[in-house]
Structure 1
Amino acid sequence: MKKLKQILIVVICTSIASQIYFNFLIQGFTIAFSVVVFSIFLYNYVELNPIKTAIITGVITPVYKSLWLYPSIGNFTESLKTTAPEIAFYTTYGIMFYFLYYNNKKKDLTKFMVLIFCCDFFSNIVEISIRTKIIGINSNMIKDLLIIACARTLMALIILIAMKYYKSFLIKEEHEERYRRLMLMTSSFKSEIYFMNKNAAEIEDVMRKSFSVYEIVSKNHYSDELKNLTLDIAKDVHEIKKDYIRVMRGLEEIANDKIDVEHMRIRDIINILEIDIKDYIVTKNLDVELDFKVHCNFYVSEHFYLMSAIRNLIFNSIEAMDNKKRGLVKLKIEECRDEYVFTVSDNGIGISESNLGFIFNPGFSTKYDKETGSICRGIGLTLVRDLVQDIFKGNIFVKSMKNKGTTFTVKIPRNLFRR
């Protein structure tokens, strides 16, 4: 079924391309672009039998051309007689291609180009011999046919090279896109694992407290029911902790296998983020403009964590627009004395003064779905603060004015990065 579809494509495209031509040598003999198209398909559809494909194409193409010639000639039989010799051209072309290239184990573009030149030239001789009834072929005709074969071979070569270049370009674009996605996914993954590690310590603390409660209940001779309940709680917390740590270790192994990149330049990190965020803005049809300025360049070893922190701040700013028209999110990275300063600002709805003291608390969020009433989990800014303070030994500050916008400033010691 697949081969039948491919043959159908070859026949249709070759027939259509046969209308791109110019008259040459003798009346009724045309030099058509269809031969170039046919050769390109033979190169790409390597599984097709060239003889069968050539015969089918050689039958259909003349019939198609006859239909176009009929209005000017006025007689379909005469139109068909004019185009029928092309059957010999395609048949000869297919046979030569089959025996000289298709069955050859060693195939490359150079051999292909030499062969289609020969196929074009000798097939033209066969066709023109039939048209002239093997009379009237002279050295000038042969020279012209050589020029035609050379010209069509050159056209085929240019098209094939262009196709290869375009294909490699698409593959490169696809690989770059996958790389960006993988970097962003790993960044989020590692940051979430870091947050889970911090939670593991809190689970440990809850477990200690629950055992302390059990000991107090036991010493003070409370009821057996209460004593058993507190012991069950302590045991449950312990089991939850074990399962939690097991899952966390598995995720860490996966994250460590994702990408092995020791250092990244800050400009490369920002380029990846900018492409991702622009795609998000277009997808969500948001009226938000980005203004990213990186005034210095340096290597970052913990690049996944830094990427996650900056990304969280930028998306926090985008969400703060609340569908505002002409939203603007600015990112500026500069060097100031012994620190690198990262500034993310927006012209969004701002944060009320009463909430400013709580925005870094775990679980705090002012974002909710107006239709469902669901509140966001609110770990974005908490994660950013923890990463900045624990991983980069830096500090984060926030300034905001209601209905004016918000500015987050991150300051990280310069000695943590390599220039």
Structure 2
Amino acid sequence: MKKLKRTLTVIIGVVVASQIYFGFLIQDFTIALSAIIFSVFLYNYTELNPIVTAIVTGVSTTLYRSVWVYCSNMDIMKTIKVTTPEIMFYATFGCLFYFLYYRNKDKDLTKFILSVFWCDFISNVVEISIRTRTNGENSNMIKALLIVACVRTLVTLIIIILMKYYKSFLVKEEHEERYRKLILLTSSFKSEIYFMNKNAAEIEDVMKKSFSAYEIVSKNNYPGELKNLTLDIAKDIHEIKKDYIRVMRGLEEMSNEKIDVEHMRIKDVISILEIYTKDYIVAKKLNIELDFKVECNFYVSQHFYLVSIIRNLIFNGIEAIDNKEKGLIELRIEKQGCEYIFIVADNGTGINEGNLDFIFNPGFSTKYDKSGSICRGIGLTLVKDLVQDIFKGSIHVESVENEGTTFTVKIPTSSFRG
């Protein structure tokens, strides 16, 4: 099925390209773009047998051209005389290509180009010989056909080189896109691991309290059922702790430490975030404008955590904008003295003054999704923890209801030195 589809592609491509031509040397002999396109197809579709493909293509092109020629002269014999020699061009081309290149085990572009040159030249000689014998003309045109073969082969080479360049460009773009996704995914991954590590300490504290409760119940004259219940609770918490730590350690081993030690420029970090955010806005059909300005440049080693901080603040703003007619997310990064200042502002619904003191608390959230379930509420908690614990910085928030919110993160320049 794949070969059939590609054969049909060759036929259609060559037939269309055959309409771009100019008359040459003798009557009814044309130099067309189709030979170039046919050569390019042979280079890319290596699984197609060139002899079979050439004959099928030659017959198809001839039939197509015959329709137009017959419509112009209404003479079937003359039409056959004019169009059928073209089949010999493709048949000769395919046979020569098969023996000169297709059967060759060591294939490269140089051998391909040389093969195409000789295939083009000899096939033209065969076709024009048939035509001169048919119409009685006799011309010495070897030099001209050599020039035609050279030109068409050169054009073929240029097209193939451009295609290779374009493919390498696409591969590069794909690699960059994968790298951006890897950075963002790893950022979320490591931030969750960081949060889990903090939770592990809390689980340890709860486990200690549960064992203390069991000891108190054991030392006093409490019912046996209560004693067994407190022991079961202590055991269950201990098992949960072990499973939690096992999962957490497994996730840590999966994280990409090799990328983690690499430094990234802050402008590259923001570029990744900007592309990701724009894609999100387009996908969600949001009417939000981004205004990102990085007024300084420096290297960051803990870039995964910084990505998590900035991304959380940006998406916190996007969620706050809600259904505004025109949303705006602003990001400013600048240096003031011995600190780098990160400012993320939005023109969203703002935060109630009574909630400002609680927005960094674990589990606190003012957002509900459309299904009615409350959000986890760890985004801003995680941001604050990362700013303070990883970068030794501080975070401040200012908000006015129905006007917007501004988060200001200050991090010492020493926190970004490798």
TM superposition shift of 1:218: 1.4
Q: How does 1:228-267 map onto structure 2 within 5 Å?
A: 228-256=228-256, 259-267=259-267
Matched, 1:286 2:323: no
Distance 1:260 1:111, change over 3 A: farther
Q: Is the 8 A contact 2:260 2:301 kept in 1?
A: no
TM superposition shift of 1:258: 7.2
Matched, 1:188 2:177: no
Alpha-carbon displacement from aligned partner over 1:105-135 (angstroms, at most 9, x marks no partner): 2222122112211111111111111111186
Alpha-carbon displacement from aligned partner over 1:14-54 (angstroms, at most 9, x marks no partner): 12211111111111111111111111111111111111111
Structure 2: gaps (5+ residues): none
TM superposition shift of 1:136: 4.6
Q: Is the 8 A contact 2:42 2:48 kept in 1?
A: yes
Tell me how far apart the structure 1 counterparts of residues 289 and 138 of structure 2 sit (CA, whole Å): 70
Q: CA RMSD in A?
A: 1.4
TM superposition shift of 1:79: 1.5
Residue 390 of structure 1 aligns to which amino acid in structure 2? D
Q: Which residue of 2 aligns with 1:359?
A: 359
TM superposition shift of 1:369: 2.2
Distance 1:25 1:261, change over 3 A: farther
Residue 408 of structure 2 aligns to which amino acid in structure 1? T
Tell me how far apart the structure 1 counterparts of residues 230 and 77 of structure 2 sit (CA, whole Å): 101
Tell me how far apart the structure 1 counterparts of residues 172 and 345 of structure 2 sit (CA, whole Å): 34
Q: Is the 8 A contact 1:67 1:76 kept in 2?
A: no
Q: How does 1:14-413 map onto structure 2 within 5 Å?
A: 14-133=14-133, 136-139=137-140, 141-256=141-256, 259-370=259-370, 372-413=371-412
TM superposition shift of 1:81: 2.2
Tell me how far apart the structure 1 counterparts of residues 246 and 68 of structure 2 sit (CA, whole Å): 74
Deviates most, 239-248 or 159-168: 159-168
Q: Is the 8 A contact 1:51 1:94 kept in 2?
A: yes
Q: Is the 8 A contact 1:263 1:300 kept in 2?
A: yes
Tell me how far apart the structure 1 counterparts of residues 223 and 77 of structure 2 sit (CA, whole Å): 110
TM superposition shift of 1:75: 2.5
Tell me how far apart the structure 2 counterparts of residues 76 and 164 of structure 1 sit (CA, whole Å): 44
Tell me how far apart the structure 1 counterparts of residues 261 and 93 of structure 2 sit (CA, whole Å): 53
TM superposition shift of 1:5: 2.1
Tell me how far apart the structure 2 counterparts of residues 197 and 260 of structure 1 sit (CA, whole Å): 18
Instruction: Determine helix, strand or coil for the equivalent of 1:350.
Output: coil
Tell me how far apart the structure 2 counterparts of residues 76 and 221 of structure 1 sit (CA, whole Å): 116
Residue 313 of structure 2 aligns to which amino acid in structure 1? L
Tell me how far apart the structure 1 counterparts of residues 414 and 16 of structure 2 sit (CA, whole Å): 67
Q: Is the 8 A contact 2:267 2:297 kept in 1?
A: yes
Residue 121 of structure 2 aligns to which amino acid in structure 1? F
Instruction: Determine helix, strand or coil for the equivalent of 1:69.
Output: helix
Distance 1:260 1:402, change over 3 A: closer
Instruction: Determine helix, strand or coil for the equivalent of 2:27.
Output: coil
Residue 215 of structure 2 aligns to which amino acid in structure 1? E
Residue 179 of structure 2 aligns to which amino acid in structure 1? Y
Alpha-carbon displacement from aligned partner over 1:124-170 (angstroms, at most 9, x marks no partner): 1111111111865443x222212211221122112111111111111
TM superposition shift of 1:354: 0.6
Percent identity at matched positions? 71
Normalised TM-score (structure 1): 0.97
Tell me how far apart the structure 2 counterparts of residues 27 and 256 of structure 1 sit (CA, whole Å): 69
Residue 179 of structure 1 aligns to which amino acid in structure 2? Y
Tell me how far apart the structure 2 counterparts of residues 94 and 308 of structure 1 sit (CA, whole Å): 59
TM superposition shift of 1:259: 3.2
Tell me how far apart the structure 1 counterparts of residues 259 and 79 of structure 2 sit (CA, whole Å): 65
TM superposition shift of 1:261: 4.3
Tell me how far apart the structure 1 counterparts of residues 204 and 261 of structure 2 sit (CA, whole Å): 33
Alpha-carbon displacement from aligned partner over 1:266-298 (angstroms, at most 9, x marks no partner): 111111101100100111111111111111111
Alpha-carbon displacement from aligned partner over 1:156-211 (angstroms, at most 9, x marks no partner): 11211111111111111111000000000000000000000000000000001111
TM superposition shift of 1:4: 2.2
Structure 1: gaps (5+ residues): none
Normalised TM-score (structure 2): 0.97
Tell me how far apart the structure 2 counterparts of residues 279 and 62 of structure 1 sit (CA, whole Å): 49
Deviates most, 312-321 or 75-84: 75-84
Tell me how far apart the structure 2 counterparts of residues 395 and 258 of structure 1 sit (CA, whole Å): 28
Q: Is the 8 A contact 1:332 1:343 kept in 2?
A: yes
TM superposition shift of 1:8: 1.9
TM superposition shift of 1:256: 3.1
Tell me how far apart the structure 2 counterparts of residues 337 and 10 of structure 1 sit (CA, whole Å): 66
Distance 1:277 1:360, change over 3 A: same
Q: Is the 8 A contact 2:260 2:304 kept in 1?
A: no
TM superposition shift of 1:262: 2.1
Alpha-carbon displacement from aligned partner over 1:366-402 (angstroms, at most 9, x marks no partner): 11124x2111111000000000011111111101011
Q: Is the 8 A contact 1:321 1:348 kept in 2?
A: yes
Q: Is the 8 A contact 1:345 1:405 kept in 2?
A: yes
Alpha-carbon displacement from aligned partner over 1:386-419 (angstroms, at most 9, x marks no partner): 0001111111110101111111011111111128
Residue 407 of structure 1 aligns to which amino acid in structure 2? T
Tell me how far apart the structure 1 counterparts of residues 246 and 266 of structure 2 sit (CA, whole Å): 34
Instruction: Determine helix, strand or coil for the equivalent of 2:214.
Output: helix
